[in-house]
Amino acid sequence: MADSDCVFCKILAGEVPADVVTSSETGVAFRDLNPQAPTHVLVIPRAHYENVAAMAADDPAGLAGVYKLAADVAEHEGLSSYRMVTNTGPDAGQSVFHLHVHVLGGRSLSWPPG
């Protein structure tokens, strides 16, 4: 399941380059092009889902795999404290409509974020 207009689907297909950190059967993790913290990695599922709600409804086990991969990224990057962020919808800041989890760390993160 892919969307030919989706930049993240194009990364998965090898049509757009990415600085891949790690991957699993469930997803791929790569560095964000516009990092908001010293460590800013995006974790995406291999299947195209518009957002976390869509994947939770259709493939909850796969969604768990995406979050497991995100936790693996934090460990791989040596983060003892980190934030995972998933935006759903344009008013929440989602700009690419393929589910992605931001893994942010390497500095103190304030709250609320925005």
Residue 112 belongs to some domain of the structure = no
**pLDDT tier for residue 1 given thresholds of 50, 70 and 90:** low
Residue 68 belongs to some domain of the structure = yes
Whole-number average pLDDT of the chain: 95
Catalytic (active-site) positions? 100
More confident residue, 104 or 113: 104
Q: Is the pLDDT of residue 4 over 90?
A: no
Looking at the chain, the whole-number percentage of residues with pLDDT higher than 70 is 98
Assign 22 to helix, strand or coil.
strand
Residue 111 belongs to some domain of the structure = no
Q: What is the pLDDT of residue 114?
A: 59
The CATH number for 79's domain is: 3.30.428.10
H helix or E strand, kind and range, residue 30: strand 27-31
Residue 42 belongs to some domain of the structure = yes
Assign 25 to helix, strand or coil.
coil
Q: What is the pLDDT of residue 112?
A: 84
Q: Is the pLDDT of residue 113 over 80?
A: no
Residues 6+ apart with CB under 8 A from 24: 65, 68, 69, 72
**pLDDT tier for residue 61 given thresholds of 50, 70 and 90:** very high
Structural domain boundaries, residue 101: 7-105
Report the pLDDT averaged over residues 16-45: 97
- DSSP letter for 92, please: G
Residue 44 belongs to some domain of the structure = yes
Q: Give the strand pairing for 39-45 and 20-23.
A: unpaired
**What's the structural domain count of the chain?**
1
CA separation for the pair 58, 52 (Å, rounded) = 10
Residue 2 belongs to some domain of the structure = no
